[in-house]
Chains A and B, each alone.
Chain A
Amino acid sequence: MSETVANGLRFHVEVLQRAPGPCERRPKVVMVHGLSVDMSSFYLTIVGGVAVESDVYLYDLRGHGRSEVPERSYSVADHLADLVGLLDAWDIHEPVHLFGNSFGGIVALFFAHHHPERVASLFLIEPHLSGEGWGRRLAEGIVGFGDDEADRQSVIGNSPSRIRWAQRAETLLRTTSVLEDLLTEAHLPSESLEALRCPVFSIYGSGSDVVEEAGARDRHIPGCQQLIVPGCTHRVLAEASLVVRDHAVKWVRGQNKALTPCT
């Protein structure tokens, strides 16, 4: 298992690189997963396709997967500092194509706002809302998830591996400051969205609980391209993995082509 120390923490990382062919430019893609999951949410869905033409950098967020689990410090600012540290540890100084799923989409948006020089483009899969009180609403949604047995059953299921995953997620929420930190998150004002200069693609499930508000939010992002996948929910990355993967591959390829071709 590969590990890298960044921002004072030990992270489980995975770097998928190939030597570039003659005159081939391999863009760098960095993927930021959502809360309570880990890098496998990307690895088992879209990485296989994206890694054909790009170098892909994955990591388990602090407290998640096989990364270190500090008791405190789970704010977006902490995640941004982690990402800066990881990019430096990977010796990446060129702008990257930043992918974010769910909470990872929020981290990606904030990262593009605070570190525009390090982001070539954003590919956002069901990014959570980022307006006033977004953290509190997300925290309330997470806490309320346990109350709906049918919803809980549909997400967790009965397999021993999924039950172990759910137990770990509950432990994370119970023993760390994840929820507490969400309550005090700052929002990303529309002026900040309007100031984003990198190309942005966002993808949602038609049945997602954030699609309408997020759609309105995305209209503040200059030139933001949006896709809504019919019949899917907030879990569109898992529910329509091939659709998301095909769009991800096309997105990075298109961004890469826009750069000066090698001669």
Chain B
Amino acid sequence: MLVKVIGTDFLAEEDVGMQSSFSEDLCLESIQFVILAEELRAHYGEKVDFVAWLAGMDLDTIIALRVGSLVELIVDSINRVPGV
């Protein structure tokens, strides 16, 4: 999914891990963050409520988000859905 949003060239140069910051390490632009959210919704549907997750954060917190935080959201959300 990150490859689709950021592109293969950049990701090939970066060692992406749970501690990677979207903004500083992956240099994700804010509009790419929106597109990542769209990709998440297209893939997981309502099971992962990315927008509601953002609702509890201010802009500085969002800018500092790490890949691991998003992975946690996805795992927690999927585990909460019965039968998945």
Binding site for B on A (CB under 8 A): 1-2, 14, 16, 38-41, 43-45, 47-49, 51-52, 60, 65-66, 159-161, 164-165, 238, 241-242
Contact = CB atoms under 8 A, between A and B. Distances in A.
A45 B59 contact: yes
Contacts of B38: 1-2, 14
A160 B27 contact: yes
B34 interface: yes
Interface stretch (B48-56, B67-75, B76-84): B48-56
Interface in B1-60: 23-24, 27-31, 33-35, 37-38, 51-59
Contacts of B24: 159
B33 A40 contact: yes
Nearest to B59: A241
Given A44-B34, A48-B53, A66-B35, 4 more contacts: A38-B34, A44-B62, A48-B57, A164-B29
A26 B68 CA distance: 33
A160 B13 CA distance: 15
Given A47-B51, A51-B51, A39 B27 contact: no
On chain B, which size bracket covers the interface?
20 to 34
Contacts of A49: 55
B52 A48 contact: yes
B72 to A, nearest CB: 17
A60 to B, nearest CB: 8
Given A66-B35, A241-B59, A242-B58, A40 B30 contact: yes
Given A48-B53, A52-B52, A14 B59 contact: no
A241 B35 CA distance: 21
A247 B58 CA distance: 14
Given A159-B23, A159-B24, A242-B58, A39 B31 contact: yes
A237 B58 CA distance: 11
A16 B29 CA distance: 21
A25 B58 CA distance: 27
Contacts of B37: 43
A164 B7 CA distance: 15
A44 B30 contact: yes
A97 B33 CA distance: 25
Contacts of A40: 29-31, 33-34
A165 B29 contact: yes
B62 to A, nearest CB: 5
Contact of A16 (B23, B35, B51, B59): B51
Contacts of B51: 16, 47-48, 51
Contacts of B55: 48-49, 51-52
Contacts of B59: 44-45, 238, 241
Contacts of A51: 51-52, 55
A17 to B, nearest CB: 11
